[in-house]
Structure 1
Amino acid sequence: MGKVKIKPLADRVLVEPTAAETKTSSGIIIPDTAKEKPQRGTIVAVGTGTKDEPMTVKEGDVVLYGKYSGTELKLEGTDYLIMRESDILAIV
């Protein structure tokens, strides 16, 4: 996890999603069209928070987030999500 050249503002975080499962526990290979969107990822960068709400997550935390949370972006060939801290459901 290298240093990214993007700094989220206010209460936003930059998350690198965990790769989607490619095989089921019984060994069946899942095609790309049937893969679930990952709902887990690692925080790569965090904003400074707002004056009323300081940030509770930090870089390196593994988090769970909603299926349709955040905005997808590609930076230097890697896919990321940028979302508000309130879109994060839990720290794992």
Structure 2
Amino acid sequence: MKLKPLADRVIIKMVEAEETTKSGIILTGAAKEKPEVAEVIEVGPGGMVDGKEVKMVVKKGQKVITSKYAGTEVKVDGEEYTIVRQSDILAVVE
């Protein structure tokens, strides 16, 4: 199954959190923070949203930082994705 986002929606996949700290301490599952960096999987076409023209500025393959609890989580073919509005993306990681 393939997901195709509509309007100003973006499908992202969270990048796994680090399992060790910089000093080499291994983190347990409970100690890991929810990842905020994600990879863009698909981008919607943009267009008119709530009466305003929306131009999509993120591109497939970019790494982005999103709001911590933004979006809707979905599971497709065993993979977990999050669907967010472009406005929920805070920055592009270069």
Gaps of 5+ in 2: none
**Residue aligning to 1:84:** 85
Q: Distance in 2 between matches of 1:32 and 1:79?
A: 17
Q: Distance in 2 between matches of 1:27 and 1:15?
A: 29
**Residue aligning to 2:73:** 72
More strand by share: 2
Q: What is the TM-score of this pair, normalised by structure 2?
A: 0.88
Q: What is the TM-score of this pair, normalised by structure 1?
A: 0.90
The root-mean-square deviation of aligned C-alpha atoms, in Å, is 1.1
**Number of residues of Structure 1 aligned to a counterpart in Structure 2:** 89
Identity %: 49
Secondary structure of the structure 2 residue equivalent to 1:32:
coil
Per-residue deviation, 1:50: 2.2
Q: Distance in 2 between matches of 1:71 and 1:32?
A: 22
Deviations 1:6-32 (A, max 9, x none): 001100000011001111111111111
Residue number among 22, 27, 33 corresponding to 2:24 in the alignment: 27
Secondary structure of the structure 2 residue equivalent to 1:13:
strand
Q: Runs (4+) of structure 1 moved beyond 3 Å?
A: none
